[in-house]
Structure 1
Amino acid sequence: MKRALVVIDVQNEYVTGGLPIAYPAPAISLANIAAAVDTATQESVPVVVVQHVAPAGAPLFARGTHGSALHDVVASRRHDHLVEKSFPSAFIGTDLDEWLRRAGVDTLTIAGYMTQTCDESTARHASQLGYRVELLSDATGALALSNRAGSLSAAEIHHAVLVVVQAFFAYTATTAEWVDAIRGKSPLGTPDFAAAMDPGQA
């Protein structure tokens, strides 16, 4: 097993910009992202930083703006590869899959923002490309949503995504659990749809 830590869209837009993360609080997720990157570096786990970039003049993530820039928690730390993306999945239109395979990576650990968009999209995509996937539950974050389909709080969205991802696409774990696994050079687990299903709810 060879892991890579994929840190998605830890950018100012999600902290001080137009899309402030609501749950878990950014102070919590940023501290855990920092701990994950530091542990990966100490244990020689490759770190891939993903940055979402929109065209100049876009209302969010416009290239060259403060909102689009990497947050200092990531910008101040080393990484092995930088990926620029413009779609939710970090694999679409990028060299991520090629870089990971060239590095011999078979297990992706995902951290960053947002739980319900780029984290989930990348986890699903990675799973379908044949990677083993881990998602750090407290090193991610969500926003509340309200539209014609209904309304959900950030906490409800965050937990719902984790439950769905755990059932099908990725093993969810806290950063502390992941750090222990990294230091012990051991796997965390795998999603298990059969075990997750409640026959009484079918």
Structure 2
Amino acid sequence: MYALLIVDVQVGLVHGQEKPWRCEALLATINELMDKARNAGAPIFLARHVGPAGSPVAPDSVLTQLAPELRLAGGEVVFEKHRPNAFTRTALAEDLRALGVTGVVIAGMKTQYCVDSTCRAARDLGFEAVLVADGHSCTDTGQMRAEQIVAHHNATLEGAFCEVVLGRDWTFK
């Protein structure tokens, strides 16, 4: 069984000073994936990246809250993480195994940080990893446009680290 893992789709990244590349399309893809997961009875996990109390990204900060555009139904598991890799110092792997999950479908933000490190870690921990090619994004950097970063990671991660599929082509098993 596969679970859907949505990484860091939170107010500070979606509504920050710089808008993520293809943000509206990204949110639509993630909402469609959540609908597919619910219809198939697949678990949905949402990671929130947080920092220390009193910081701009404290757990109670509006910046770390899930983006209001996400269509949540109430059955999702929302958890906090403090490192880019969603498995590090969280109960994610144990929670997935307890549910009989053998693979994770990964979507979210930011491509070159938390999405990348989570994809790489999933296989190391024994999970099949699927990266949704149109389900992750970021903003431009001084070296590359966001579109290039996303394309680079889709190409780099495919094969050795994960399967890469378009959101419309994925079916939860």
Class of the TM-score when normalised by the shorter of the 2 chains:
over 0.9
Counterpart residue number, 1:174:
166
Counterpart residue number, 2:39:
42
Counterpart residue number, 1:200:
none
Counterpart residue number, 1:193:
none
Report deviation, 1:18.
4.4
The sequence identity of aligned pairs, in percent, is: 30
Structure-to-structure mapping, 1:89-104, within 5 angstroms: 89-104=85-100
Structure 2 CA distance for aligned equivalents of residues 12 and 56 of structure 1: 17
Report deviation, 1:30.
0.2
Report deviation, 1:75.
6.3
Counterpart residue number, 1:108:
104
- Give unpaired runs (5+ residues) of structure 2: none
Give deviations 1:153-176, integer Å, cap 9, x for gaps.
111111111111003101111110
Structure 2 CA distance for aligned equivalents of residues 79 and 124 of structure 1: 27
The DSSP-based 3-state class of the residue aligned with 1:17 is coil
Which residue identity lines up with residue 145 of structure 1 in the other structure? T
Note if contact 2:31-2:71 (Cα within 8 Å) is conserved in structure 1.
no
* Cα 1:11/1:19, change in 2 over 3 Å: farther
Structure 1 CA distance for aligned equivalents of residues 137 and 75 of structure 2: 21
Counterpart residue number, 2:81:
85
Structure 2 CA distance for aligned equivalents of residues 123 and 130 of structure 1: 12
Counterpart residue number, 1:9:
8
Q: Does 1:28 align with 2:20?
A: no
Report deviation, 1:118.
0.6
* Cα 1:75/1:31, change in 2 over 3 Å: closer
Which residue identity lines up with residue 8 of structure 2 in the other structure? D
Give deviations 1:18-47, integer Å, cap 9, x for gaps.
4531x2x11000001000001101110110
Structure 2 CA distance for aligned equivalents of residues 138 and 17 of structure 1: 20
Note if contact 1:49-1:79 (Cα within 8 Å) is conserved in structure 2.
no
Higher gyration radius (CA):
1
Structure 1 CA distance for aligned equivalents of residues 112 and 130 of structure 2: 15
TM-score where L is the length of structure 2: 0.93
2:65 aligned to 69, 89, 95, which one?
Answer: 69
Work out which structure has the larger RCO, using CA pairs closer than 8 Å and 6 or more positions apart in sequence.
Answer: 2
The DSSP-based 3-state class of the residue aligned with 2:159 is helix
CA RMSD in angstroms, aligned pairs only: 1.5
Counterpart residue number, 1:56:
53
Structure 2 CA distance for aligned equivalents of residues 172 and 93 of structure 1: 26
Give deviations 1:112-154, integer Å, cap 9, x for gaps.
11111111100100011111100111111022222xxxx1111
2:126 aligned to 103, 112, 130, which one?
Answer: 130
Structure 2 CA distance for aligned equivalents of residues 57 and 157 of structure 1: 32
